[in-house]
């Protein structure tokens, strides 16, 4: 909420400068989020001195002045009659801007050049409130000399500091100038100077004779006060009021509307003014009925839009028609127009939740609805309507009819909250006595009484946030000072099982995976877990596939962020595309993220969130074998047993360059699926605008974690005797896989064969078409002796035979 500093200073005695003030109130929870200085729109208005003053030769009412503005003397024509030679006055130079944005230019007045304008206080956005000595009709005359040509903004204090206060959602009472002032007074430990309101009631008759009010839904409308003003004169409000409204961000309309808005700013409760001539009568009196709308009932609001209502929307009606959507906006036919003479002022309280729902359903959040949504105190209504009547009389907008009609079926009473100082101290870590606590509470108008040896706090009705002892503790802490509460570094004692303080093994596993992948050259990426349903198109997932029915957010930021991803790869592919667009020649990324899999749609239970480790990369050194190698390195840190790679087809992967990954924890056990690795389908790469060949791997994090858990690290002493290495080169038909060759080698290698390493594959010159050359390095170790050449030759012979027999291997 925006409040000019001067307005607050008018209400509370603040001796501090603004910066100190801001620090003090912010520390007590009245946070100033920003300070804006207004009056900065007034430019090129400087101090001038009248050196010559003559009647305009051709116009009786004009004066021709010569004004010294320091560097030069200007001829300026004016209509004001209050000037004398030697007066210091504000001069708007050619190109100046005045309050309200008026631009001043050189001109001719009745044939004589006028090089600017002499200014009144109004033109500078001020009133006689600001400068009591000034003349409303004439030019402003400085009381003392100022340097000629100097900017008048700082001299006249035209710059106004407007403070933006953060309003906490549980404190509707502070959404008002007086509410903030009350907090400020509490911070400064001053009694709050509650404004006194006097209404002269200059019209005849009584409101009761003019108006009836009937509330048909007291839950949605706890209170409704009506007052009447006759002989209304609709005109602009005075500039001081307009200035404050504008500073607070409210657009001035006319005196009556501005009064309702001004009181709303002061007290926090909206008011509404109706042209009473549009309110139908019943038994000779204007009959106001507060009821919910009929389903499909229509109203044209004062913005000229016809709106169709639901049966939960609260209406202000007469016996014939809706007059306003309660708390949100009036109807077009009851709005205050220049011809309005008799006005019905409504000061009502509406149910916050209902206003919120209606405003949302209608898509019309107004200043009024925004306040009602916060739930102002129904007991404010009296002060609000009376303050409005006082202003009507002060501004001479009309005559106030004596009395009011106040429908208030169940008045809200102060809440009684029992408390114990010991509990408050225990919570805050303080040792205050009951008197100190009472004193802090008194600052915010909470009184304390003793009943049956228990202390009870009597909480004023505007503090709807205070319902229990802990709320009182917060009030005490606020005025004691949060930052005077001293830190306590208690020895933290170990917590008993089943909690095992420390990093869970799972979290440690995730951390280790990150460490390994970073070591392998991968950067960790973070992407949004929601994505566009069009990702399924980009990934060329067939129609009807389960992946096309993901968990969908009801109210997403937009379609691009609407589905909880059923596959983790979309985010990383977009990230690869982003890197490619930045012309980064290599990008290796990984992410630890989740697949979101609903059990059923719509959701009946929490969906599965399946953790995955996803790798995605492109670059000159990235290909199927490089990413497969990275995956093998990663798996070697958690999986024991043989890894099995088999050809795999997935819609988004290259059909000839993708492998499923599984591992056999034990030769006699079933293989366990881990995930897949491969090259992205070129069409999918094109869909993502990735020009390079991109590679992917997706690993099931749960499986890896379980594999790591199941792995038993057993110690085998390193061999005592040296190994013997022999190379084996042969050709086989190109359809024979490396895995088949290795199996054939191992089958005959026996216990002595320790390692089999493929170090070369070649097809081309010197190799018969349809064949490929494979070169392996075999490492033999015996636990009990240094192997002889003979032993190796024997083994190699049987291995060769096996390769020849099974795979048509030829040796040279």
Partner 1 sequence: MLEKLTQLREEIKKALENATPEAIEALRVKMLGKKGEITAVLKGLGKLDAETRKAAGAAANELRDWAQTQIEQAKSAAGADQLEQSLANEHIDITLPGKRRGVGRVHPITQMYDKLEQLFLSLGFDIVEGPHVETVYHNFDALNTPPHHPSRDRTDTFYFGEDFLLRCHTSPMQVRIMETQQPPIRVVVPGKVYRNDEIDATHTPVFHQMEGLVIDKNVNMGDLRGIMELIAQHVFGNGVAIRLRPSFFPFTEPSAEVDVACYICNGKTKTEPCRVCKDSGWVELWGCGMVHPEVLRKSGIDPDVYSGYAFGLGVDRLTSALYSITDPRLYFENDVQFLRQF
Of residues 167 through 196, those in contact with partner 1 by CB under 8 A are 168-171
Which residue, 202 or 512, has its beta carbon nearer to partner 1? 512
Shortest separation between residue 527's beta carbon and partner 1, angstroms: 6
How many CB atoms are located within 10 Å of the residue 154 CB? 10
- For partner 1, the binding residue among 53, 253, 428, 458 (CB under 8 A) is 428
Query: Footprint of partner 1 on residues 429-458 (CB under 8 A)?
Result: 429
Q: Can you tell me whether residue 808 is helix, strand or coil?
A: coil
Nearer to partner 1, 59 or 520 (CB): 520
Smallest distance, partner 1 to C-beta of residue 576, A:
9
Q: Name which of residues 21 to 80 contact partner 1 (CB under 8 A).
A: 22, 26-29, 31, 34
Closest distance of CB 259 from partner 1, Å: 30
Strands 285-292 and 405-407: unpaired
Nearer to partner 1, 102 or 553 (CB): 553
Query: With CB under 8 A as the contact rule, which of the stretches 276-284, 438-446, 553-561, 758-766 interacts with partner 1?
Result: 553-561
DSSP β-ladder status, 88-97 and 73-78: unpaired
Indicate the burial class of 514 (C-beta count within 10 angstroms; 0-12, 13-18, 19 or more): middle
Q: Which is nearer to partner 1, 30 or 287 (CB)?
A: 30
Closest separation in Å from C-beta 672 to partner 1: 24
- Please identify, among the stretches 3-11, 242-250, 287-295, 424-432, the one whose residues bind partner 1 according to the rule CB under 8 A: 424-432
Distances (CA, A) of 198 to 192, 195, 241, 262, 383: 19, 10, 19, 17, 10
**364: contact with partner 1 by CB under 8 A:** no
Does position 18 interact with partner 1 (CB under 8 A)? The reply is: no
CB of 533 vs partner 1, minimal distance in Å = 15
DSSP state string for 193-207: -PPP------SSS-H
Site for partner 1 in 252-311 (CB under 8 A): none
The stretch near partner 1 (CB under 8 A) out of 4-12, 134-142, 595-603, 638-646 is 595-603
Closer to partner 1 by CB, 413 or 493: give it: 493
Nearest approach, Cβ of residue 539 and partner 1 (Å): 19
CB of 543 to partner 1, least distance (A): 24
> Of 119-178, which residues contact partner 1 (CB under 8 A)?
168-171
Under rule CB under 8 A, residue 519 binds partner 1? yes
Beta bridge partners of 203: none
- Residue 152 makes CB contacts below 8 A (sequence gap 6+) with 42, 45, 46, 47, 90, 124, 158
Measured from the CB atom, the residue of 560 and 804 that comes closer to partner 1 is 560
Which residue, 697, 679, 520, is CA-closest to 591? 697
Tell me which residues in 457-516 interact with partner 1 (CB under 8 A). Answer: 465, 468, 470-471, 473-474, 477-478, 482-483, 485-490, 492-496, 499-504, 507, 511, 514-515
- Footprint of partner 1 on residues 222-241 (CB under 8 A)? none
**Smallest distance, partner 1 to C-beta of residue 580, A:** 11
Query: Should residue 609 be labelled a site residue for partner 1 when binding is judged by CB under 8 A?
Result: yes
Site string (81-100) toward partner 1, x via CB under 8 A: --------------------
Which residues between 746 and 765 bind partner 1 (CB under 8 A)?
A: none
CB-wise, 98 or 472, nearer to partner 1? 472
Instruction: HSE, CB side, 13 Å, CA atoms: give it for residue 755.
Output: 10
- Grouping H, G, I as helix, E, B as strand and the rest as coil, residue 334 is helix
Does position 594 interact with partner 1 (CB under 8 A)? The reply is yes
Closest approach of Cβ 532 to partner 1, in Å?
14
Q: Which of 807, 802, 796 is nearest to 731 (CA)?
A: 807
Task: Establish if 603 lies at the interface with partner 1 (CB under 8 A).
Answer: yes
DSSP state letter for 623: S
Number of residues that bind partner 1 (CB under 8 A): 92
Long-range contacts of 492-498, Cβ-Cβ distance < 8 Å, separation of 24 or more? none
Q: How many CB atoms sit inside 10 A of residue 736's CB?
A: 19
Q: Which is nearer to partner 1, 515 or 750 (CB)?
A: 515
Among 132, 602, 620, 764, binds partner 1 (CB under 8 A): 602
Q: Tell me how far the alpha carbon of residue 747 is from its chain's centroid.
A: 65
- Whether a cis peptide bond, with omega within 30° of 0, leads into 635 is no
Report d(CA 317, CA 500) in Å as an integer. 65
- The residue from 409, 505, 556, 709 that contacts partner 1 (CB under 8 A) is 556
Stretch that binds partner 1, among 292-300, 537-545, 547-555, 754-762 (CB under 8 A): 547-555
* Cβ contacts of 23 within 8 Å, gap of 6 or more: none
In 150-234, which ranges are E strands?
Answer: 160-165, 211-215, 223-230
The correct pick among 518, 758, 761, 793 for binding partner 1 (CB under 8 A) is: 518
Interface residue with partner 1 among 248, 264, 348, 352 (CB under 8 A) is 352
Is-contact 705 743, C-beta < 8 A?
A: no
> At closest approach, how far in Å is the CB of 623 from partner 1?
14
Q: Which is nearer to partner 1, 168 or 644 (CB)?
A: 168
Which of residues 553, 625, 673, 739 is near partner 1 by CB under 8 A? 553
Please, what is the minimum distance in Å from the beta carbon of residue 119 to partner 1? 31
CA distance 18 to 23: 9
Q: Which residues contact 432 (CB under 8 A, 6 or more apart)?
A: 421, 424, 425, 440, 476, 480
Q: Is the dihedral of CA 242, 245, 248, 251 positive or negative?
A: negative
**Residue 17: CB minimum distance to partner 1, A:** 13
255-267 and 177-187 helices cross at what angle (nearest 10)? 30
**259/781 Cα distance (integer angstroms):** 99
Site string for partner 1, 563-592 (x = CB under 8 A): -x-------x--x--xx--x-x-xxxxx--
Three-state DSSP state, 143: coil
Nearer of residues 138 and 521 to partner 1, judged by Cβ? 521
Q: Which is nearer to partner 1, 36 or 727 (CB)?
A: 36
Query: Closest distance between partner 1 and the C-beta of residue 24, in Å?
Result: 12
Task: Return the range that interacts with partner 1 (CB under 8 A); candidates 600-608, 754-762, 763-771, 799-807.
Answer: 600-608
70/519 with CB nearer partner 1: 519
C-alpha dist (Å) from residue 433 to 70, 87, 417, 488? 66, 63, 18, 21
Residue 799 CA to residue 112 CA, distance in Å, equals 117
Distance CA 696, CA 694 (A): 7
Closest CA to 696 of 673, 674, 680: 680
Main-chain dihedrals φ then ψ at residue 365, nearest 5 degrees: -95, 110
Contacts of 49 (CB under 8 A, 6+ apart): 67, 68, 69, 86, 87, 88, 89, 145, 148
Comparing CB distances to partner 1, the nearer of 294 and 528 is 528
Q: Is residue 625 a contact point for partner 1 (CB under 8 A)?
A: no
Binding of partner 1 by 363 (CB under 8 A): no
To partner 1, the closest distance from the beta carbon of 603 in angstroms equals: 5
Query: 439-448 burial, b if ≥16 CB within 10 A, otherwise e?
Result: ebbebbbbeb
Asked if 528 touches partner 1 (CB under 8 A), the answer is: yes
Please, what is the minimum distance in Å from the beta carbon of residue 668 to partner 1?
36
- Which pairs from 489-493 meet CB under 8 Å and 24+ separation? none
Report CA 665 to chain centroid distance, whole Å.
Answer: 49
- CB closer to partner 1 out of 132 and 558: 558
CA angle 204, 327, 5 (to 5 degrees): 85
């Amino acid at each position: 909420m925006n409040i000019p500093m001067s307005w607050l200073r008018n209400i509370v005695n603040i001796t501090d400068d603004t910066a100190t003030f801001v620090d003090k109130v912010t520390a007590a929870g009245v946070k100033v989020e920003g300070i804006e200085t207004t009056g900065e729109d007034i430019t090129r208005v400087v101090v001038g001195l009248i050196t010559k003053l003559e009647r305009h030769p051709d116009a009786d009412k004009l004066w021709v002045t010569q004004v010294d503005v320091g560097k030069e003397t200007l001829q300026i024509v004016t209509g004001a009659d209050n000037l004398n030679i030697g007066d210091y006055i504000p001069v708007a130079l050619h190109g100046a801007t005045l309050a309200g944005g008026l631009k001043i230019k050189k001109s001719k007045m009745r044939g004589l050049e006028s090089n600017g304008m002499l200014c009144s206080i109004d033109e500078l956005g001020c009133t006689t409130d600001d400068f009591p000595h000034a003349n409303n009709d004439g030019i402003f005359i400085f009381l003392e000399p100022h340097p000629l040509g100097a900017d008048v903004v700082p001299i006249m204090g035209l710059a106004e500091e407007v403070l933006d206060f953060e309003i906490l959602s549980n404190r509707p009472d502070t959404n008002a100038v007086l509410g903030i002032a009350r907090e400020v007074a509490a911070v400064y430990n001053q009694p709050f100077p509650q404004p006194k309101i006097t209404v002269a009631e200059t019209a005849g008759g009584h409101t009761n004779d003019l108006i009836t009010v009937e509330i048909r839904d007291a839950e949605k409308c706890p209170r409704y006060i009506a007052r009447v003003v006759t002989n209304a004169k609709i005109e602009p409000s005075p500039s001081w009021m307009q200035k404050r409204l504008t500073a607070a961000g409210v657009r001035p309309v006319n005196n009556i509307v501005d009064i309702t808005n001004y009181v709303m700013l002061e007290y926090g409760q909206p008011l509404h003014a109706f042209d009473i001539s549009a309110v139908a009568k019943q038994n000779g009196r204007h009959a106001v009925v507060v009821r919910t709308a009929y389903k499909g009932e229509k109203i044209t609001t004062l913005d000229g839009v016809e709106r169709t209502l639901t049966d939960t929307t609260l209406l202000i009606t007469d016996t014939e028609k809706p007059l306003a959507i309660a708390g949100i906006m009036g109807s077009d036919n009851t709005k205050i127009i220049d011809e309005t003479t008799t006005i019905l002022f409504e000061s009502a309280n509406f149910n916050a939740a209902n206003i919120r729902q209606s405003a949302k359903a209608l898509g019309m959040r107004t200043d009024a609805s925004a306040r009602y949504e916060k739930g102002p105190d129904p007991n404010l209504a009296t002060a609000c309507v009376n303050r409005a009547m006082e202003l009507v009389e002060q501004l001479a907008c009309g005559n106030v009819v004596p009395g009011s009609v106040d429908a208030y079926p169940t008045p809200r009473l102060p809440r009684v909250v029992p408390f114990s100082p010991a509990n408050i101290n225990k919570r805050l870590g303080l040792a205050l006595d009951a008197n100190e606590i009472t004193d802090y509470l008194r600052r915010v108008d909470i009184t304390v009484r003793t009943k049956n040896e228990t202390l009870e706090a009597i909480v004023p009705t505007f503090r709807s946030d205070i319902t229990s002892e802990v709320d009182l503790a917060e009030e005490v802490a606020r005025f004691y000072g949060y930052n005077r509460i001293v830190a306590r570094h208690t020895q933290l004692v170990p917590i008993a099982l089943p909690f095992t303080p420390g990093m869970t093994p799972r979290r440690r596993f995730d951390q280790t995976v990150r460490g390994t992948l970073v070591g392998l050259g991968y950067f960790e990426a973070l992407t949004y877990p929601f994505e566009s349903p069009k990702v399924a198109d980009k990934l060329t997932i067939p129609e009807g596939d389960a992946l096309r029915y993901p968990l969908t957010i009801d109210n997403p930021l937009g379609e691009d962020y609407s589905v909880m991803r059923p596959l983790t790869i979309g985010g990383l592919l977009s990230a690869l595309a982003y890197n490619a667009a930045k012309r980064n020649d290599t990008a290796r990324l990984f992410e630890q993220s989740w697949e979101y899999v609903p059990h059923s749609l719509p959701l009946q239970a929490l969906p599965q969130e399946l953790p995955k480790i996803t790798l995605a990369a492109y670059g000159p050194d990235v290909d199927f074998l490089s990413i497969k190698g990275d995956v093998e390195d990663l798996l070697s840190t958690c999986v024991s047993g043989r890894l099995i790679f088999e050809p795999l087809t997935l819609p988004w992967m290259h059909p000839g360059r993708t492998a499923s990954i599984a591992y056999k924890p034990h030769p006699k056990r079933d293989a366990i699926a881990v995930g897949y690795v491969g090259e992205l389908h070129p069409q999918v790469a094109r869909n993502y605008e990735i020009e390079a060949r991109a590679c992917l791997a997706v690993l099931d994090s749960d499986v890896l974690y379980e594999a790591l858990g199941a792995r038993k690290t057993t110690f085998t002493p390193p061999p005592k005797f040296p190994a013997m290495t022999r190379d084996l080169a042969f050709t086989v038909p190109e359809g024979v896989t490396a895995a088949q060759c290795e199996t054939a080698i191992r089958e005959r290698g026996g216990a002595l064969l320790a390692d089999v390493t493929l170090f070369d594959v070649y097809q081309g010159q010197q190799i018969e078409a349809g064949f490929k050359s494979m070169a392996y390095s075999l490492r033999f170790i015996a636990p009990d002796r240094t192997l002889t050449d003979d032993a190796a030759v024997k083994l190699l012979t049987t291995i060769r035979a096996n390769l020849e027999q099974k795979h048509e291997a030829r040796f040279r």
